[in-house]
Structures are given as C-alpha cells and as structure tokens.
With several copies, the nearest count.
Chain A
Amino acid sequence: MTALTSPPARPEAARGSVLPSLIARLGAQHLSLIGALVVVLAVFGTLNDNYLSLGNLQVIAEAATITGLLAVVQTVVIICGGLDISVGSQAGVASVVSAMAFTSAGSNAYAGIAAAVAVGLLIGLLNGAVIVHGRVNPTIATLAGLAAYKGLAQLISDGRAQGYVLGDPVFVFLGRGRIAGLPVMVWLLVLVALAVHVLLARTDLGRNLYAIGGNDTAARLAGININKYLIAVYGLIGIVAAVAGVLLTARTGSGQPTSGSEGLELKAITAAALGGCALKGGKGGVGGTLLAVALLGCLENGLTVQGINSFWQNVAQGALLVVAVVIQQRRSGERAIGLPA
C-alpha cells in the first residue's frame, strides 16, 4: 500500500516498508502543509496544555469528519476537471430525509440511512446528467443545485429540524460510538478516504479520471467514455454527501435542512485546493486534501480553545490559507497566471 496521495511520480519510493515511504512521499509533496500543521500544533500545544491531549485530538478529528468526507469527494471531482458546489445542500437533503424516513418507518435507522443514500445517489446522478447531457458547466450546474437542493430540503422539512434520533442505538453509535478508541465517524472518514485513494492511485478508473481532468480531448481520443465517468463521479458525490448528511443527523440528533450543511461546499473546496488540487483538473490527491482538512481543523480548534474571537478567527484563517499556498507554490515552482517562469 502506498501513501495517501496522488499516484506516484516516482513509484520507487513506494517500495520498502509502508510508514517511512508514506511519510517520505507525503512529506516531499506537501512540505508546506506539514510545516504549517507542525507550527499550529506547536503553538497551540504550548499555549494550552490540553490542546494536544488525546481527548482534544479526537474532538478535532470528529469536528473535521463531515468536511473531510466532502473534501475527499470534492478532490475526485476536481481531479476530473469538474466541481460540486452543491455538496452542502445535498447533505442537508440527506439529513432531513434520513430523519424523516427513520421516523415514518417506525424508528428504523436502516430505513433512514437507506433512504438518504438513495436520494443522495439520485441527486448526484441528476447533477451528472445536467452537466453531461445538458452540457452545462459544472460550476454553474452545481451553483444551481446549491439553491435548488437547499430549497428541496426546506420544502420537505417545512424548514424545521425533523425527527429525533438520539433514542436509536444505530444513530447514537454513528454519532458518539467508538471503535478501538476512535470515534466511529472518524473510522468512516478513514474508510472512505482509503477507498477513494486506492481508486485514484491504483486502478485504471482512477488513472482515467486524472486523464479526463488533464486533457479531456486527449482522454476522449484515447477511448475514455468521459460522460460515463462524470456521471459516475457525481453519483459517488451524492452517496458520500448523503453519508455526511446521515452523520449530521446522528450528531445533532435530528434532521437539519440547512443548519450545519450550509457553507460546507466552501470548506470542502478550500481543503481540496489547499491540499494541492489544481482547480483546472488533472492534479491532486486524497493525501494532500486530508492534510489540509487536518490543518484547517487544528487551526480552528486552537483558535477556539484560546478563546480568540470569531472575527480574528476569520482573519487568521484567511491569512494562513494564503501563506500555506504561497509556500507551496514557491516550492513547486509552478507558474501561476502570467508569471515569468
């Protein structure tokens, strides 16, 4: 198993034992992110004794899970040259659906989850179809989805939190359970991230996704059925966004039409971009995205723990984003728009 990052530019490094190679690979590609993460951990760890406690690290991980899930699938769609701005709204629909189906199936959690995933898949396929068959630019199509699915979630829930799932062992397990000391939610993120990483880095499907994002004409002429891939990717997003919605329900105890899901798209896209995805496609990987999710999560938690007011938090987050990317760009030596080499 190689590192959680984009398919190796140098597979030699993938040999040898797992951990050192993973660290070596992640390190080389994401030095600025790792540097920033270390600085954040060191600063807040020094300022506050409990920041680096197991408990707080778990809190950070749990808080980052839903964003993390959406950032991982955002990575996939960005790699193949698209974007999904509607993930937050999709999660909202799924959250409401899961709680309502749960309730109307006589408190059956599996019914709730199944209904949410089914609806998520449908929405994802609809996005894909609009983009592929309607020939709509992915940004615009999902911008429309952002509004439309939010409205949908509000309509079916009448704008109110729906149901109450904290009496149900399955939902409680999802929201609060632990396996081997790690929150169930975090396990879920790890699972999804690993699966997507393997898909991207090790399978021909993943290769083809990079190809599509790198040069769609070339991909088409190489025999790749771009339309099918795009629809499948948006379907996958729908499913994972539904899982995120179910977790939202499990965490808050009820189905939330907008609360908790609004703005998730921006967080997910920010993480993917900070993690090294080129917004024009063809580049990026799960490893970088997860590092970025971790960095943003640790920063937000640290600022909160230090009691920094939310206004400063905004400033700090914006500044960090720029600094991390500047370092990254300098290192990669890539030319941004119009600069001399």
Chain B
Amino acid sequence: MTTPPDHSPPPLPPGTAGVVAVGKRFGAVRALGGVTLDFPGGQVTALMGENGAGKSTLLKILTGDHQPTEGHLHLDGHRLDLRSPADARAAGIRIIPQEPEIIPHVTVAENVYAGSLPRRAGRRLDRAELRRRILADLERLGFAGVLDPDLLGSQLTPAQRQLVEILRALTGEAKVIAFDEPTSSLSEQEVEALFALIRRLRADGVAVVYVSHRMQEIFRLADRIAVLRDGELAGVQDAAATNEGELVRLMVGRDLSAMFTRERVATDRVVLDVKGLSTDDVHGIDLRVHAGEVVGLAGLIGAGRSELALALAGDLPIRSGTATLNGKPLGGSPGAAIRAGLGLAPEERKAQALFLHRSIRDNTSVAVLERLRRFRFVRRGAEKQLAQEYTERLRVRTPSIEHEVRKLSGGNQQKVVLARWLARKPEVLILDEPTRGIDVGAKAEIYRIIADLAEQGVALLVISSELPELLGLADRIVVMQGGRITGELDRADATEEAVLHLAMADDLTPRNPSPGATS
C-alpha cells in the first residue's frame, strides 16, 4: 500500500520543512534520486531503509552539510538554500548525526556550545554563564547525573558522546530536529529520557525527523513513516495504519522470514574461562563460555562490558585474576589474544576498527593476512574471494570491494567490521554491539552467521544494548552493573524486566526527566 509522495493540500502546519526532487551523487554513486518529502511541524517523521538507502545523506542535505546535486529544500513555505551547517543552524534546523563528532581536549560544556559560546564584551568567554547553561540544560533534558560537564571530550564513552550531540542539537531555538540513529549506543534509561524529550519537542511544534533501524522505537514514536529504497522514496505511511511486515517489504522489496529463533547447541567444553578478573574499572569477574554457546552480556552505560571485552582481548591491563582460552592464559597484547584464538569486534567502529581510507578488501582481510599469504606475499586472489564472500553474505551495499570504507554508509561500515572477525573464525568471538546501525535484513543474516558459528563450536560473547536482540540470540544472559556481574539469567528465565532489574539493582526507580518546556 504505497502512498505516492504528495504535498498538495491539506495545508502544512507551521514549521514544516521538506525536500523537493532532491538528488545527490558521489562520483559514480547515486545516493539519492528525486526524493520529495515533507517533515511537518509538530510531527515525528520516521525515516527507514536498508543500510545505504540514503537516509543519512538526506539528513545531511537537510542540515546543510551536503549540497544536493538536484532539487531544493523548503522551510515554512519558503525555498531554502543552505550552503553550510551554519546556514542550517541559523534557519533553525538541527541534527544529531549518526557519528558523534567530539572535540577531544575541551570540556563537555564547551563541546555542547561550540560555535555559540556565551560571551561578554570584547568577546570574553563568560565561564559562569557557560556553567549555568550546561547545568540547566542537563537538568532540563534529564541527563543531569549521566554527564559531568567538566569531563574532557577525550574521556567520554560512546553513550556520553551521543548525549553531547543530543545536547548540542537541543540548545537554542529549533524548528526542525533530525535524529540519525540516536539510540544506537544508548541504554534503556537514556533511551527513555530521549523519547520523553522527543515527545515534548513534538508538542512544541518542532518537526522531528527520526532515523532508526529499530521497529519498536519507530512504532512508539512516529506519526508518519517514510521509507527509502536505493535512494528513492519507496513510500510514506501513517504510523497508525501500517505494520512491521509492510515496512520491511517496502524497505527490502520482499518479505523477510519471521522472528529469528535458534536452537541451543552449547556443549560442556569450557573454552573461555574467566576467574576473579579485575581491571581498573571492572572487578572480580567470573565467567565461562562453552563451545557452541552464545552468552549475552547486558548492562547500562558504563557497566563495564566493553572494558571487560578489551581486557580479554589484551588491550587493557588485567590487575588481578585470570582468563584462559582452552587453558592458555589471555592478556598481554591483542596480538597474543588473537593468536590464542580470541577475536573481538569492538564497539566503536571508526575509532577502534576501521581503516577509513583503505578498501573493503583491505579492511576485511587485515586480521587474516597470515592465512592469506605465501611467504610474505599476500595472495590477492584468495583475499578477493574472501572479501567478496563476506561482502555478499552481509549485503554490504557498495559498487565493489575496492571501494574505500569511508565512502560507505554507517551500517555498511559496521558490516565490514563484522566481516573481518567472522572471516577470522576464532575459537572465542566477542561481539561488542555488533548490530549497531544495521538494517533488518542484514541483522537477520548476522544472527544466522552467529548461529552457524555456534554450531561450528565457536564460543560467543555478545554485548548488546538492544535487549530483544540479546533475548533472541543468547543461551544465557550475564548482567553487569558498575563493573561487576550482578546476575545471570538462563534463556528460559530471561525477560526484559528481569535483565533490567539486575542492571539497575541498586536504583530501580527510573529517573524521569524533569518536566519543563523545551525551547
């Protein structure tokens, strides 16, 4: 039931922005073609589509970061020409970009107000006012305890970086706010605070654009749902009048098999054995993962899951306790851990995993080169074959495996990270937020690969902030809080409520953002 794009009457509410016949090319790649779409004021318009469908590109055009190669924008009934993000900001258009951009050596407060710092006469920075403002905004937006305004940008966790971007967009007057996968590194608590915020924005008449791959979120928030496919508008749906199946069909052009389920194949053979392990921020971890088992690791922001993963992978020093893989001790260096049979697909793809200026092929093969070489020469044929195989299985949207990774969409970049580690086939594979930003179709494929690996006897430790995903995948869920394991749930007993209970053991009252108007 595709509604053709249509912006004839009824008259648009004030604050409506939109694009008319907009297209964008990057060299030979056509990212967008002829998209006409409105974002009405006082409504949440969700934007969906497979990885690489053009969602981020559309938002970047809307916010002045990219200039369209065809078509134009409008706001409040006037044609809009944006030559820079500054123009867009001035017009009242904001974005929370897919990848947070943080300034490393300045404080959170300066990060948030960069470009519009409060000042006194003579351009003197007004530090008192800056402090007042950040505290007020943190309070108003419900992030008061989560983000210390004096922290430096370089000290922030991925979730905190995301919060900085949200704060940036929500300060000052805004007519249009675009969220590009804002929840992909947030945990439940922050997600709830964010949703409350978005609802308030809508009530204030702001036009909200919301990009996400998470169906649940979309149906909780959106008034309208626009679907992009291959850079074109596949349809616009009324949220109340559509369903998951229909959206998926619009996105991928076919039906997807029903909910993912897998059988338990775990053996009794312990592969990864962690005893009393502590690092600087993680304490007394006891954990076993068996061959063929998928263990899920749940927790809120800063629970210490990523830190545990990095310690096992040899990148953070172990202060006490032991970790062994098939009896061989872990620790030392990432190289040693990999040689011992451990693989880690880390959490932050750009900072920790990708070589942005290298090809998909290079990025896929980097951890398996020693299997692909003869003497020390890389066997190009074998390498290409490997990269080709995973690029196809994970449905990476790219003209060729020689494409530079920086030119891929966020979700497709994530697939390349996974391809590297899936290709490596280690005995223990740790996946830290593996489906961050990944579309529905590819998610299903990744789940299938995880299931295959388990069947082949690989021991898997999956860290995810998306609880439904963990519940569907894991044989067992281990929950962390404050650097410690607070409990463990078997597949049969695991429910969202049970996991959340353990994740917030001390503080079971959800912090509701304080009421108050947003601007």
Known: A203-B124, A203-B376, A207-B117. A221 touches B315 (CB 8 A): yes
Give the Cβ gap from B142 to chain A, nearest Cβ, in Å: 23
A207 x B333 contact (CB < 8 A): no
Q: Is the CB of A215 within 8 A of B101?
A: yes
- B66 near A222 with CB under 8 A, answer no
Residues B378 and A218 in contact, CB atoms below 8 Å apart: no
- Closest-by-CB residue of A relative to B421 is A222
Q: How far apart sit A18 and B376, CA to CA, in the bound complex (Å)?
A: 22
B110 at the interface (CB under 8 A from A): yes
Are the CB atoms of A210 and B358 closer together than 8 Å? yes
Chain A residues within 8 Å of B200, by CB: none
Query: What 1/0 flags go to B176-219 for Cβ under 8 Å of A?
Result: 00000000000000000000000000000000000000000000
Binary contact readout A290-308 vs B (1 if CB under 8 angstroms, 0 otherwise): 0000000000000000000
The reply to whether B153 and A204 form a contact with Cβ atoms under 8 Å apart is: no
Q: What CA separation (Å) do A5 and B420 show in the bound complex?
A: 25
| A11 with B384: CB separation less than 8 A | yes
Report the Cα distance A208→B376, complex, angstroms. 12
In the complex, what distance in Å separates the CA atom of A219 from the CA atom of B86?
A: 10
Q: Point out the residues of chain B lying under 8 angstroms from A222, CB to CB.
A: 85, 89, 114-116, 168, 334, 338, 366-367, 420
Collect the chain A residues with CB atoms within 8 Å of residue B103's CB.
210-211, 214-215, 218-219, 282
CB of B495 within 8 Å of the partner chain? no
Which of the listed residues B117, B131, B384 has the most CB atoms from chain A within 10 Å of its own CB? B117
B316's closest neighbor in chain A, by CB? A341
- CA distance in complex: A206, B362 (Å): 12
* A11 CA to B132 CA, complexed, in Å: 13
8 Å CB contact of B352 from A206, A207, A217, A283? A217
Question: Is A122 among interface residues, defined by CB-CB distance under 8 A?
Answer: no
In the assembly, what is the distance between CA of A282 and CA of B404, in Å? 13
Contact status A214-B357, CB under 8 Å = yes
> Chain B residues with Cβ under 8 A from A8's Cβ?
402
A16 at the interface (CB under 8 A from B): no
- The reply to whether A203 and B119 contact each other, CB–CB distance below 8 Å, is yes
CA gap between A298 and B339 in the complex, in Å: 50
CB distance from A78 to the nearest CB of B (A): 12
Q: Mark out the residues of chain B between 354 and 386 whose CB falls within 8 Å of any chain A CB in the assembled complex.
A: 354-359, 362, 365-367, 369-370, 372-373, 376-378, 380, 384
B337 CB → nearest A CB, Å:
8
Does A220 belong to the interface (CB within 8 Å)? Answer: yes
Is there an interface contact between B85 and A223, defined as CB atoms closer than 8 Å? yes
CB-CB contacts below 8 Å: B389-420 with A: 402, 404, 420
Contact check, A221 vs B353: say whether CB atoms are below 8 A apart: yes
- Tell me the bound Cα distance from A205 to B114 in angstroms: 10
Asked whether any CB of chain B lies closer than 8 Å to the CB of A183, the reply is no
B281 located at the interface, meaning its Cβ lies under 8 Å from any Cβ of chain A in the complex: no
Please state if B114 and A224 are interface contacts (CB–CB under 8 Å).
yes
Q: Give the distance to chain A from B25, nearest Cβ to Cβ, in Å.
A: 12
Contacting pair A218 B101 (CB below 8 A): yes
Q: Is the CB of B101 within 8 A of A221?
A: yes
> A223 touching B335 by the CB < 8 A rule?
yes
The answer for the CA separation of A7 and B384 in the assembled complex, in Å, is 14
Give the residues in chain A near B127, CB-CB below 8 Å: 11, 14
For B334, give its contact among A11, A221, A278 (CB under 8 Å). A221
Task: Kindly state the interface size class of chain B when it binds its partner.
Answer: 35 or more
Cβ-based interface call for B511 (8 A): no
Contacts of A278 in B (CB 8 A): 105, 357
Set B102, B107, B333, B378: member contacting A203, Cβ < 8 A: B378
Residue among A6, A208, A215 making CB contact with B102, cutoff 8 Å: A215
Chain A residues in 8 Å Cβ range of B33: none
C-alpha gap A95/B131 in the complex (Å): 46
Cα–Cα distance between A219 and B237 once the two chains are bound (Å): 36
Decide: A225 near B86, CB < 8 A? Known: A207-B369, A214-B357, A341-B66: yes
Q: How far is the CB of A217 from chain B (nearest CB, A)?
A: 5
Given the complex, which residues of A lie within 8 Å of B115, measured CB to CB?
208, 211, 219, 222-224
Does B402 lie within 8 Å of A11, measured CB to CB?
yes
Task: Indicate if B327 sits at the interface (CB-CB under 8 A).
Answer: no
When C-beta atoms are compared, the residue in chain A nearest to B86 turns out to be: A223
Query: Chain A residues near B32 (CB, 8 Å)?
Result: none
Closest Cβ–Cβ distance, residue A75 to chain B (whole Å): 14
Q: How far is the CA of A333 from the CA of B204 in the complex (A)?
A: 42
Complex Cα distance A217/B334, Å? 11
Closest A residue by C-beta to B153: A214
Is B355 in contact with A210, judged by CB distance below 8 angstroms?
yes
Residues in A1-45 with C-beta less than 8 Å from chain B: 6-11, 14
B158 within 8 A of A: no
A204 contacts across to B, CB distance below 8 A: 117, 119, 123, 125, 369-370, 372-373, 376-378
A282 and B359 CA atoms in complex are apart in Å by 12
Chain A residues closer than 8 Å to B97, beta-carbon distance: 221
Q: How far is the CA of A11 from the CA of B370 in the complex (A)?
A: 20
Would you give the shortest CB distance from B164 to chain A, in whole angstroms?
9
- B residues less than 8 Å from A217 (CB atoms): 101, 351-352
Query: Is A134 close to B, CB under 8 A?
Result: no
A203 touches B373 (CB 8 A): yes
A222 to B101: give the CA distance in the assembly, Å: 10
Q: Give Cα distance in the complex from A206 to B122, angstroms.
A: 12
| Known A214-B355, A219-B114: A224·B335 in contact at CB below 8 Å | yes
Q: Is B150 positioned at the interface, with any CB of A under 8 Å from its CB?
A: yes
B236 on the A face (CB < 8 A): no
- Establish whether residues B355 and A211, one from each chain, have CB atoms under 8 Å apart when the complex forms: yes
Chain A window 212-254, contacts with chain B (Cβ cutoff 8 Å), 1 for yes, 0 for no: 0011011111111100000000000000000000000000000
Q: How far is the CB of B21 from chain A (nearest CB, A)?
A: 21
Q: Tell me if B313 is interfacial: C-beta within 8 Å of chain A.
A: yes
Are B150 and A9 touching (Cβ within 8 A)?
yes
Q: Decide yes or no whether B346 CB sits under 8 A from chain A.
A: yes
B150 partner residues in chain A, CB cutoff 8 A: 9-11
Q: How far is the CB of A82 from chain B (nearest CB, A)?
A: 16
Which of chain A's residues have a CB closer than 8 A to the CB of B114? 207-208, 211, 218-219, 222, 224
A160 adjacent to chain B (CB < 8 Å): no
Structural contact, A202 and B124, CB atoms closer than 8 A: yes
CB pair B376 A9 closer than 8 Å: no
Q: In the assembly, what is the distance between CA of A224 and CA of B336, in Å?
A: 10
Residues of A within 8 A of B19 (CB): none
How many whole Å from B209's CB to the nearest CB in chain A? Answer: 16
Q: Are B335 and A225 in contact (CB under 8 A)?
A: yes
Within 8 Å of chain A (Cβ to Cβ): is B65? yes
A220 to chain B, nearest CB (A): 5
| A221 and B117 contact, CB distance less than 8 A | no
- Give bound CA distance, A341 to B365, whole Å: 26
A282 CB to nearest B CB, Å:
5
In the complex, the 6 A-B pairs of residues with the closest C-beta atoms, listed nearest first: A222-B115, A223-B86, A218-B101, A223-B338, A214-B103, A214-B355
Q: List 25 A-B contacts (CB under 8 A).
A: A9-B152, A11-B380, A203-B125, A203-B376, A204-B373, A204-B378, A207-B362, A207-B378, A208-B115, A211-B106, A214-B357, A215-B101, A215-B103, A215-B153, A218-B351, A218-B352, A219-B114, A219-B115, A221-B352, A223-B335, A278-B357, A282-B355, A282-B357, A340-B315, A340-B333
* Known A204-B373, A218-B111, A222-B367; 4 more pairs at CB < 8 Å: A204-B125, A211-B355, A222-B89, A223-B116
